[in-house]
Structure 1
Amino acid sequence: MDIVLVGHVVVDMIIYPDGSRKRSLGGSVVYGSFTALRHGVRPVIVSIVGSDFPDEYLTFLARNGIDIAYIHRFKGKTTRFRLSYDEYMNRKLYLLSRSPDILIDDLPPVLHKKLVLVGAVAGEVPLETLEYISREASMTALDIQGYLRFKEKDGSIILKSNTLLKEIVKHADVLHAEEYEARIATGLENPAKAAKKLVEMGCGIALVTMGERGSYVAMKRRLIYVPAVKPRKMVDATGCGDVYTTVFTIEYYRRGDIYEAAAMATSASSFLVEKPGLDGFANRSEVRKRAQEVMGDIKEIG
């Protein structure tokens, strides 16, 4: 089983409260790929990187079993973000550079019967490409974040709703939004209502995550609340939404059970926060064991 992950592989510069800096490989497609590997699924990344992209990152991805044949290079700059954290670990995001859009010609020639996850971080998967993916793929999952982000003059990122969003949502069988993103996208403060609204806007299943407060999973005429699995310790929450979305999509695709898929997704996310960066991925058997902690506490809301 393969999963094709479409979006920019990025280079993050992380600035901590004490002023220390760390360069890191990032992007939704990277977190999604490592998650897929732990769940027995072969990831194929479709991306565009610049001539400045470190070769060691490509080697790292390939050596870990990720198909990088569709990571295209161009003579320009890689998508780069600066993540600045204050003493309370609140994050300010800046877009420093951006690679070109990912077009239909950049995709693998055959998407039929493939599972595809679109993890745009800066709107780099345009509507035309997304429409093609949704027509060809067996199931299309989408993270909404990249379609809400807008760059200010100083490079800082703000979230704004927009007219394109209604068309984007329609092409997602599974759609993920973090609580604040769901509020921006729908105009609704209540995350449960926002999840239902996203389904009304056209997606098949809406996932609205709320960190330690759990998540809502909505589909037509159905809404469930999924409590969070309490991690053993909290180190780094980066990539939690990517892990949740990837695991839910894979498990739902395999078995068609939203309870099980949601329990597995929240369990996998709890492992990720226990270690920094790309070190927190657990294998499927570990995730399944911890998922049992919440299976009985999932509630049908309506």
Structure 2
Amino acid sequence: MTSPIPNPQSLSAEASKDSSAILVVGTIAIDNVKTPQASEVNLLGGSASYAALAASYSGCPVHLVGIIGHDFPSQHLAMLENHGITLDGIERSDGASFSWSGEYHENMNDRTTHQVAINVLENWQVKIPADLRSAPLVVLANMSPENQMQVIDQCEAASSSNPQSAISNPRSSSPFLIADTMDLWINIANERLHDVLKRVDLFVINEGEAREFVGTSNLILAGQRLLKKGPRHVVIKLGEFGAMLFSAPSNGPWSLSEDTFFRCAAFPLTEVADPTGAGDSFLGALAGHLAATGKS
């Protein structure tokens, strides 16, 4: 049995049609994390949580959709609300929340996963509240490709009722769709993941997953091959070394130029406390920038 989370910031139908609104859909989890410096349990985790929090710093309205269990800490929901994130789309189930336990190695890049408890995510069928389906920018945070397709179908079906969008999108009757993924889905849901790529505008993936997905160690070739799978733009995350953006040319074959390729460095840090959710936070911050500037 599931029920929506009561939210004092409940949306009206008009609020969901804000031209800079961001809909974030994905996992909301409880994390237990150990680093060389510290160990903490019952932390807020999940791809959608990190993405929504990062997007909230843009000042644009952020709406979060996901599922949690009966054991999900109320202080985590309060923290999300304190960042101005609306929680109308969160379902609470009778089961236990999705949780992850892991340990980072000394270099803070490598980690060991000790436990993953799928719990309420196992049979989750995404149901986007009607008031949120016409959001102009939709973030498909890391979750199963099947769940991502459920979001795409619901939002694209409702998009014709929201013709006013701050996001520049050649598919003018559709929301601007951004998707992330991970190696698990590349391995066990590859065909469905290809379906997602055919439907999204921007696909985000880390360098190791990009190499695995398209079968090359050359990241320039990887970016080109990912573009051929359907998205108009691809971002390959490089961790501490930044990111690379690939864009499909307006006509002709892809070639390296200022219109089709951009690379940016990461901000250097002398000390890293906890890299959990770094890629998800990048995804949310990118979405927030697009919504705030109206550029794609």
Q: Shorter-chain TM-score category? A: 0.7 to 0.9
Note closer, same or farther for the CA distance 1:209–1:19 as it changes in structure 2 (3 Å cut).
Answer: closer
| Cα distance in 1, alignment partners of residues 38 and 132 from structure 2 | 46
The match for 1:224 among 249, 253, 262 is 262
Q: SS of the counterpart of 2:147?
A: coil
Structure-1 residue corresponding to 2:64: 45
Structure-2 residue corresponding to 1:170: 198
The residue type paired with residue 230 of structure 1 is P
Q: SS of the counterpart of 2:23?
A: strand
The residue type paired with residue 274 of structure 2 is D
| Cα distance in 2, alignment partners of residues 229 and 81 from structure 1 | 27
Structure-1 residue corresponding to 2:91: 72
Count how many residue pairs are aligned between Structure 1 and Structure 2: 249
1:138 aligns with 2:138: no
1:114 aligns with 2:114: no
Contact 2:22 2:135 in 1 (8 A): no
| Cα distance in 2, alignment partners of residues 62 and 19 from structure 1 | 27
TM-score (norm 2): 0.74
C-alpha deviation, 1:80, in angstroms: 0.6
| Cα distance in 1, alignment partners of residues 243 and 276 from structure 2 | 17
| Cα distance in 2, alignment partners of residues 170 and 238 from structure 1 | 29
Contact 2:145 2:189 in 1 (8 A): no
The residue type paired with residue 96 of structure 1 is A
The residue type paired with residue 212 of structure 2 is I
* Larger helix proportion of the pair: 1
| Cα distance in 2, alignment partners of residues 26 and 108 from structure 1 | 26
The match for 2:41 among 18, 22, 25 is 22
C-alpha deviation, 1:122, in angstroms: 5.1
| Cα distance in 2, alignment partners of residues 132 and 70 from structure 1 | 13
C-alpha deviation, 1:160, in angstroms: 5.8
| Cα distance in 2, alignment partners of residues 256 and 61 from structure 1 | 24
Note closer, same or farther for the CA distance 1:108–1:12 as it changes in structure 2 (3 Å cut).
Answer: farther
Structure-1 residue corresponding to 2:226: 198
1 or 2 for the larger relative contact order (CA 8 Å, sep ≥6)? 2
Structure 2 residue runs of 5 or longer lacking an equivalent are 1-19, 160-173, 250-259
The residue type paired with residue 149 of structure 1 is L
| Cα distance in 1, alignment partners of residues 196 and 128 from structure 2 | 19
TM-score (norm 1): 0.73
Which of structure 1's runs of 4+ aligned residues deviate more than 6 A?
A: none
> What is the RMSD of the two structures over their aligned residues, measured on CA atoms?
2.6
Note closer, same or farther for the CA distance 1:113–1:71 as it changes in structure 2 (3 Å cut).
Answer: closer
Q: SS of the counterpart of 1:8?
A: coil
Note closer, same or farther for the CA distance 1:180–1:160 as it changes in structure 2 (3 Å cut).
Answer: farther
| Cα distance in 2, alignment partners of residues 86 and 105 from structure 1 | 38
Contact 1:27 1:121 in 2 (8 A): no
Note closer, same or farther for the CA distance 1:48–1:124 as it changes in structure 2 (3 Å cut).
Answer: farther
The match for 1:105 among 119, 127, 130 is 127
Structure 1 residue runs of 5 or longer lacking an equivalent are 151-157, 259-302
Identity %: 23
Q: SS of the counterpart of 1:99?
A: helix
Structure-2 residue corresponding to 1:13: 32
| Cα distance in 1, alignment partners of residues 262 and 81 from structure 2 | 38
Q: SS of the counterpart of 2:88?
A: strand
Note closer, same or farther for the CA distance 1:223–1:32 as it changes in structure 2 (3 Å cut).
Answer: same
